[in-house]
Amino acid sequence: SRKKENTGFQCGHCGSKVLPLTNGSFRNHCPYCLYSKHLDENLGDRSSLCQGLMEPIELIYHTKKGYQIVHRCCTCHKVQRNIIAVNTVQEDNIFLLLN
């Protein structure tokens, strides 16, 4: 179920404890270092066999979805975008990408 997708986890990159989102969305990356894990082949399918860490490489703005973090898998180099977490517990530290 979709509820299972919004769970807390320990970040595989920095080790921080990451809490589930409280804004009705789903957590898929660390709010502190912005790293993610390669879980999806297609949005939300959780079918990736790679499971590599995904490095945040860019912050972009989409007119309908707002700000998104672009991630690149450190193992297979797949690139994916994720909407930033705002108006919730542990908001994303997007300042890491603004240098």
Tens digits of pLDDT across the chain (99 residues): 455 667 889 999 999 999 988 887 778 899 999 999 998 888 778 888 999 999 999 999 999 999 999 999 999 999 999 999 888 889 999 888 876
pLDDT at 3: 55
Under DSSP, is residue 95 helix (H, G, I), strand (E, B) or coil?
helix
Question: String of b and e for 49-61 (b: at least 16 CB within 10 Å)?
Answer: ebebbbebeebee
pLDDT at 4: 61
